[in-house]
A = this chain, B = another copy of it.
Amino acid sequence: MKTIRDVAKNAGVSPATVSRVLNNKGYVSEEKKKRIEKVIQEMGFEPNQVARGLAKKTSNTLALIVSDITNPFFPELAKGAEYIARSHGYSLLLGNTKGVDNESNDYIKILMNKYIDGVIIATHDIDSQLLEKHRETPMVILEMENEIENACTIKVDNIQGSVTATEHLISVGCKKIAHIYGPLYDQTAKERLKGYQEVIRAHDEYKELTVPGDFTIDGGISAVRELLDEHPDIDGLFAGNDLMAVGVIKELSRLKIRVPEDIAVCGFDGIYLTKVFSPEITTIEQPIYEMGELAAEKLIDRIKNPHLNSEHIELKTKLVIRQSSNRNKLSL
């Protein structure tokens, strides 16, 4: 490996001067600057990031902590974040918290010892005390309004999205609309439930029909069974997330209940699967890839300017109508 000394020697200057042009910092005469840049070019010199890291307490790497990269929501997020990170000269470290025996506690410690410059947290199973403890680390937190100081929070307007979903089912002619909500310790689940309730309560002719789910496909399957036991006559179903919507539709198809003719279904999230599934699934789309990009951008802002205040960003969702609720030809 070539070092900054080699460059200095070849250019007839000191390492300090080379460092100055590398970092574009401090004064260097135009002439030497040109010369040094030329030598760097010729030698194909690349500064050693580890040495630089040690000197600057920096690593030029970001971490993305997700609960489970296997959940289709996260790859898209990761892709957006990795893209931006790389464009700015950062690398992206990936961490899965799910199924980790050692507490995720260790996780952040590891990151600290590596001088990770900042972390994007996209999992709910993280101890907020822990986050509190690492308040000096630049962070952006996804889908979780948190009271962490100094952090940036990015989420979607779940209530609005869920209002839109419910109203959509009404507009499509559904008379008995049920909702499968996610685990209530999850803030998004709570908000989505709330949006559904708001709409239903605003309409006298509709009744609240809710049943709990766990945000998984299997959870969707059991929830819809439970629902049909009690209310075999529902004709609209708003699932708290897309994964459950998939489970719902699978189970309905097994039961020979037609979607959307007998029951119209709408999910939430806008994961890839909804586009791909058959029937294609109506959903409230979050800008997942963009959230990944935005998270990385905001994180990098915070790294460059550590004194930024807390910031809470709320993004818009978008109703995407697909086959699973497309009853246009049926509604009166």
Please list the residues of chain A having a beta carbon within 8 angstroms of any beta carbon in chain B.
46-51, 53-54, 59-61, 64, 68-70, 72, 74-76, 78-79, 82-83, 86, 91-96, 99-100, 109-110, 112-115, 217, 246, 249-250, 253, 272-273, 276-278
Contact = CB atoms under 8 A, between A and B. Distances in A.
B94 A94 contact: yes
A69 B75 contact: yes
A69 B64 CA distance: 14
Contacts of A114: 49-50, 59-61, 91
Given A47-B113, A54-B54, A69-B75, 10 more contacts: A61-B114, A68-B79, A69-B69, A69-B82, A70-B79, A78-B94, A82-B96, A91-B93, A94-B94, A250-B276
Contacts of A91: 93, 95, 110, 114
B276 A253 contact: no
Contact of A96 (B60, B70, B79, B100): B79
A95 B93 CA distance: 9
Contacts of A278: 249-250, 253, 277-278
Contacts of A46: 109, 112-113
Contact of A217 (B92, B109, B276): B276
Contacts of A48: 54, 113, 115
